[in-house]
Amino acid sequence: MMQTHGRAAVALMMMTINTLVMALPILLLGLVKAILPEKWRKYLRPILMQTAQGWVATNNLILTTISRPQLCIEGELPDAPRRSCLVVANHQSWADILLLQYLLHRRTPFLTFFLKRQLIWVPVLGLAWWALDFPFMRRYSRAYLKKYPHKAGKDLALTRRACEKFRNIPVAIMVFPEGTRFSKEKHQNTQSPYKHLLRPKAGGVGYVLTLLGQQIQHVVDISFAYPSRQTISFWNFLGGGLSPVKIRSKVHRIEPDIRCNYVEDPVCRSRVQTWINGIWHEKDEWLDVTFGTSVSNTHKP
């Protein structure tokens, strides 16, 4: 236990130092980009992305040398760093994000997340995400929109504006369709039809496919299965105590019938929801089998 806590403390300290060091050039480049005319910004974006890739590469090095989680990976990981894609995954822990960056580093374009607007106030990271053009979204509840109907459509406008920045550049947009981390309480309260997952919401997927259209060439589907008898915590993961982690990678082609107008067409919304439900059903079956089998093909990064 002490060894786990010690490794977690060292890994967190090293990642914090790396973030502080790498955030400086990212912020400086972001500020320069912000004051330049739009036609010049496209020349800075590749430099920003390469700097961010260095940030991720160093975090990956810390992960593999200090945390050393055991990973059991099924399926083939993508190898298309210049092809835009959508990445979807089930969400159980903050460790998911570190693992996604490790698994897909230079296998897809730099991972970009849709973030809650409040996260822009996270010290250092919030400004770094802003400089990297991560979209900050403001979600309105149904009750809020009922009280303030003029706010309806603002979230879509923000999504549209964010996606416009990604046009004609390689991008990998990460979406957690469940919208939140899994817990038994949430699973019960939402009456999820899945055994190991929360209900997926098609909105994020549908908006991206509609607004970026043919630019998104495939969907990378990642499934995480953490040890069922261990506490799923970021700290435990950093200390190497959350092992082995089983991971399945699958690449889906985008069917023509879901390349439609999710924003305005209710039939399209139904198709996209049915499609993501199918992916979630398959993912739930894999998790059910995985939790009932022993570990094989364990890989230590």
Residue pLDDT, tens place only, 124-179: 999 999 999 888 877 666 676 677 666 666 667 777 777 888 888 899 999 999 98
Predicted pLDDT of residue 295: 41
Within a domain: 191 = yes
Predicted pLDDT of residue 120: 87
Tell me the residue range of the domain where 214 lies. Answer: 69-299
Amino acid at 196: H
CATH for 263? 3.40.1130
Within a domain: 81 = yes
Within a domain: 13 = no
CA distance 85 to 107: 11
Predicted pLDDT of residue 78: 94
Q: CB-hemisphere CA count at 13 Å for 119?
A: 14
Predicted pLDDT of residue 144: 67
Within a domain: 97 = yes
Query: How many domains does one find in the chain?
Result: 1
86: nearest Cα among 248, 251, 285, 228: 251
pTM: 0.89
For residue 155, what are the contacts with CB-CB under 8 A and spacing of at least 6?
A: 137, 138, 139, 140
Within a domain: 46 = no
pLDDT, tens digit, 9 for 90 and up, residues 250-274: 999 999 999 999 988 999 999 999 9
The bridge status of strand 71-74 relative to strand 298-299 is antiparallel
Within a domain: 49 = no
| Ranges of residues in the chain whose predicted pLDDT is under 70 | 1-2, 139-142, 144-145, 148-155, 229-231, 293-301
**Residue 194 · residue 288 · CB < 8 Å:** no
Within a domain: 183 = yes
Predicted pLDDT of residue 261: 92
The bridge status of strand 85-89 relative to strand 136-137 is unpaired
Within a domain: 92 = yes
The bridge status of strand 111-113 relative to strand 172-175 is parallel
The bridge status of strand 136-137 relative to strand 298-299 is unpaired
